[in-house]
Each structure stands twice: as structure tokens, then as C-alpha cells.
Structure 1
């Protein structure tokens, strides 16, 4: 495993033109070195990630701030390595405008300790979604059905934020069809993505179940008569 490279050495490498490559398809040696030194990635992982991500060799500050911010919020090296491997573009996120407001909201709503790194690593999609228009409405909806932030946090970890727009009409449909709210809450806790499927699929599923139930009642009537 490669040894860690101090930041001052990385900055000196930026000035060394011999490290720059004219082949854009090959990862920059500086990028690989930076990933090795900053996120405790093994060489194979750093090489793989660097092929998907171009770090501006003249500006290493933003990736450095991102990693420092994550470490300040209980992210271990293993968390950071896994997050970068799953979504390399996290190193391009702006701390003040993207990460900080979302982390503050999550912490205020029960994502504390290990829960926060678990959320981000398991579902990096939350960092790509708008806080005001996507994340907050989704979380508030979960909380209104489940009754508390702790349960909402547990369900949110296993939800797809990109599919949240279907959740509210699906919940409204189930309530309209007479499904008790506590049953809906149980479904969200056990299988949150079931309630996130496309609305038309949910409509079809409800109709199919109602049809099956009617046939079952007819069968019981004729066999008992």
C-alpha cells in the first residue's frame, strides 16, 4: 500500500510539469497521489476513481475542504474511501453551498453519530438533490406519516430521493382506499421503496389486489351456500 503524501509535497508536484500527461484518457499521477494521501484509498481504487474524476491540479483546496468537512462530521477513513469510490464527484461539492446546509438539516432531524455517515455513504444521491425542493419535503412527509424524526430518519436512509415525488400520491391513494395510516407507516418502515414506485404501478397494484379480494369473497360465498 502506498504511503501517505503530505499536502506540501502535492503542491510542489503541481509545479512539476513532468507529472502532467498529454493523454487525457490516462489518470493524472497527481490525482492518484492525492486520492491515496487524502482518502486512504488503495492504489487500485485510487486509479479507478481517478479515471472517473478530473481534479484540477492547480486547485486542490476544494477536495481538501470536502475531506476535512467529512472527517469533522464523524466520517472515518473507510466511510470517505467508500463514498469517493461510489460517487467520486463528491470531491467537487462546495462545502458552504451544498454539504453544510444539508448536514445541518440532517443533524437537526436525528441523523447524529454514525447515522449520518451511514446515510451519506449508503445513499450519496442525497448530496445531488436540492435541500429545499426535494430533501425537506421528503423528510417532512415521512415524519408526518411515521410520527417522529427517529423513524423518519431510519426510513430515509433506505429511500431513493430521486423517486420521492411518487410517495405522496401513493400514500394519498392508499388512504383513499381505506388503508389505515399505521399500516402505511409499517410498510414504509419495512419496505420504503415499495411506496416510491411509479404512481400508475401503484394504482394497478391496488386494483389488482381489490379484484383478487372480490374474487376471494365470491368464492367463499359460493362454497358456503
Structure 2
């Protein structure tokens, strides 16, 4: 039984043990579990709210969801309409099992918020066998907690008919458990692979999509393969009509772009690229070489195009020819490399018409060999500039607006 005790401006739910001996046990329990109560869920402190307007929030279930699962009063009240219990026996056993299998308080909150029914499931008959299976194939601890808290619907699936077959199928495609974990976290609909995923993969193989491309698609965007076959086939046909070769990796990237975008979103991205000076030919050149250029956010596109065109002086058509550069990190790759380029240009060590592909696309080793080691003697501080230890402004150089240079 619980009672409300006033402590300052807040109320706390505490057990009403009834006698001094039990009170002593309660204090001992608090001392042993101080870390749990102080760090796990600050929601143990329940803010008093209007009983008349929200009387249902004081139910046993709501109190449990707040105190044991770390949910807010509002969320707990909402979830109590989907699941209810009068004793803590079942939910306590579920939470104990989860914690023993690597679930943190954050994992439990996330899991219960998405699937509150897990609290009243059978531990011995349903939950435990599934956890044991995951352990048997080497998925446990944080990996297991991440999977199930991200995609708790797995726990509602049949172990023999869905979970085990799905695991075996995914393992055959992606080779190791780490990648299986990634797929399970990303694909909320990847539960019965025999109905959608297997036929769709067969369709891709039938038109010449390579196994490596299929594996990459499964890992990066498994949800695409969960579409019903009729709709999936329409998307595949559309990508083929756009001129993509199924044997090239760009084919599945284009398929992802087509499947994940609405017509309105597609037109919006086209408008943005046109506003930066891309012609129709520029767009198709960019999209066919790097389909992911259409999955970037409008903000991302504008920031990168502004930097390349206005600050570096590269023509829009040059960016279209090196569309992959739109996906690079501004802070980690673009600015460090372009800072080096700007210094070398300022000192006249390289020609003005150097193209952006040779600067941004090479590997880390390729870039450092070509631009850092090669000019280290002439510019001793070049590595410090590349690593951000010296700002260009200290050298009287910056990324000010530049007129478009010759075609680069």
C-alpha cells in the first residue's frame, strides 16, 4: 500500500508499512537502493495535480507507471487506458527480468511507453524464452536492450514462427550480429519476412541487383523492403525508367529516395536545387551519380550550396558533377579541407581552377598526401589549420563571398 507524504513543495509516494519494524525495513531498503531512487527516475517525486480534473491519474496503474517505469503523470495516465493491473506481481517480475538482462531505466521507460502491455505478459511462457533465444545467438546486454526498446513489437511476435526465421534470414544477408542488431532497430515492420521482404528481395535479384547492394539496402533502409510487393514493384519500375542500372549500387539508393519521398517533397527539393542555378541536366547528372542528394533536408542543401557556391566560388554545375559532396560533414570534412585549399590559393601554391572533386572526395590519406605533406615546408602551420588549431582569420584569410570562378 502507498501513501502520499508531503516534503516541502512536493509529494512523494512512499509505502505505508504500518508499524515501526516495517518502517525500519523501509529505511534500510531506501539506503540500499538510494542510487536507484535518486538517479533512476526523478519521477518518483510526483507533482501534485488537480484531483477533480484528473482523478484517473491516481489509479494504482498510473502510480506504478510513474514510480517504477519513470513515465510522466500525463503519459502514465494515457497508457493506463491501454493496460491496467491491481497488483505489482506481474509487472515487477517483468521489470526484474529486463534489468537482469541489461535494460537500464531509460530502456525500460522507452519500452513501456511504446508497448505498455509488456508489463502484464507472461514472463515464463513468452518473455523469458525470447530473451534466452537472443542470448543463444550472441545478442545480449545493451544490444538486446537497444533492439527491444526501439522495436518492442518483436516481443509480441511468435518465437518459432517469426523471430527465429527472421533472425536466420537476416543473418544470411548481413553476415554478423552487429548488423542484425542495426536492422532490427531500424525496421519497425520487419516481423514476417516471408510475406514481404523475401518476395521483394527475389524481385531485386531477378533484375540483376547484386548481393552486396541488397545487403547494403537491408542494413541502411530495411523498411523499404517491407512494402507490399505491388507497390514495391511500381517503385522498382520507376527507378529503371529513370535510367538506373540494377547492377550498380546507385540503383538501390535511388529506390530508397523514391520510396521515402512524397511527390510534394520531391518537387520541393527540385525547386531548391533550381534556385541555386541547377539546370534540368545538372539535376539528373547529380541524381544519377548520387541519388541521396534528394534525401537531404532543404536546410542541409541550402547550407552546403551556399558554402560551395558563394564562399568557395564553385559553379553550381561543378557541385552537380560532385553531388556526393553534399553529404559530407561541414565541420569534419568540408571546412577543414577548404581551409587548407584557401591558404594554398592565397599563397599561390596551387592553381585557381582546381576542381572540388580533387579536394573533397579523396580519402583522408589521399588528401593529406596531396595537399598537406606536399606543401608542409612552404606552409609549416598547414596541419594546424587543417585541425582547426589556427583560424583562417588569424592569417587574414576567410570564407568571404567570392564570385564564381572559371568552370572548376
Pair 1:115-2:143 in alignment = yes
- Taking the TM superposition and a 5 Å limit, the aligned residue runs for 1:59-208 are 59-159=87-187, 160-162=189-191, 164=193, 165-208=195-238
SS in 2 for 1:3: strand
Query: How far apart, CA to CA, are the structure 2 residues paired with 1:75 and 1:196?
Result: 28
Aligned to 2:76: 46
Q: Alpha-carbon deviation of 1:51?
A: 2.8
Residues 5-43 of structure 1 show CA distances to partners (whole Å, capped at 9, x for unaligned) of 44968xxxxxxxxxxxxxxx9356222222233223333
Gaps of 5+ in 1: 10-24, 215-225
Query: How far apart, CA to CA, are the structure 2 residues paired with 1:128 and 1:155?
Result: 18
Mark the structure with the bigger radius of gyration: 2
Aligned length, in residue pairs? 197
Q: Residue 65 of structure 2 contacts residue 71 of structure 2 at CA under 8 Å; is this kept in 1?
A: yes
Query: How far apart, CA to CA, are the structure 2 residues paired with 1:8 and 1:46?
Result: 25
SS in 1 for 2:62: helix
Q: Residue 99 of structure 1 contacts residue 127 of structure 1 at CA under 8 Å; is this kept in 2?
A: yes
Q: Residue 83 of structure 1 contacts residue 124 of structure 1 at CA under 8 Å; is this kept in 2?
A: yes
Q: Residue 139 of structure 1 contacts residue 156 of structure 1 at CA under 8 Å; is this kept in 2?
A: no
- Distance change >3 Å, CA 67–CA 6, structure 1 → 2: farther
Structure with the larger RCO, 1 or 2 (CA within 8 Å, 6+ apart): 1
Q: Residue 4 of structure 1 contacts residue 36 of structure 1 at CA under 8 Å; is this kept in 2?
A: no
Aligned to 2:240: 210
Q: Residue 154 of structure 1 contacts residue 189 of structure 1 at CA under 8 Å; is this kept in 2?
A: yes
- Distance change >3 Å, CA 42–CA 173, structure 1 → 2: same
Q: Structure 1 length as normaliser, TM-score? A: 0.78
Q: Structure 2 length as normaliser, TM-score? A: 0.45
RMSD of aligned alpha carbons: 2.4
Aligned to 1:22: none
- Distance change >3 Å, CA 137–CA 7, structure 1 → 2: farther
Q: Alpha-carbon deviation of 1:45?
A: 3.0
- Distance change >3 Å, CA 157–CA 110, structure 1 → 2: farther
Query: How far apart, CA to CA, are the structure 2 residues paired with 1:157 and 1:63?
Result: 24
Q: Residue 103 of structure 2 contacts residue 145 of structure 2 at CA under 8 Å; is this kept in 1?
A: yes
Query: How far apart, CA to CA, are the structure 1 residues paired with 2:130 and 2:146?
Result: 15
Residues 42-77 of structure 1 show CA distances to partners (whole Å, capped at 9, x for unaligned) of 33333232232221x2x4311111111111111112
Aligned to 2:365: none
